[in-house]
Amino acid sequence: MGVIVYAQVLADQAAADAMQPDQIIAALGGQVGVSNAKTVTGIGDKAFEYTSNSTTSGAGVAIFVFRYNVVLMIVMGPSTDSNAIEAMAKAAVDRIGA
């Protein structure tokens, strides 16, 4: 199993609020393809989970979490374990200071 983690600190929370996961995917140059979006509650300020197809880790799950001015993407594959990736995202968000 492989895990890809991408994090970016933006200028402020307004910039994070304006960012969408497809912008991050475009910035990665097509290394991660996603589909089947669903909103996840209880993680960060907003979070979205997808089925992913990564060129490096194969089919799996991806989660994008926005907290304060930080954007975090975790891709795990090959796996479809939503609970595992959500637990990783929660642990990461708990470590982001205000």
Closest CA to 94 of 18, 28, 56, 43: 43
* Residues in the chain, pLDDT under 50: none
State residue 75's pLDDT score. 82
Q: Supply the range of the domain harboring residue 15.
A: 2-94
H or E segment at 84? helix 82-94
State residue 47's pLDDT score. 92
State residue 45's pLDDT score. 92
State residue 43's pLDDT score. 93
State residue 83's pLDDT score. 87
Q: Count the domains in the chain.
A: 1
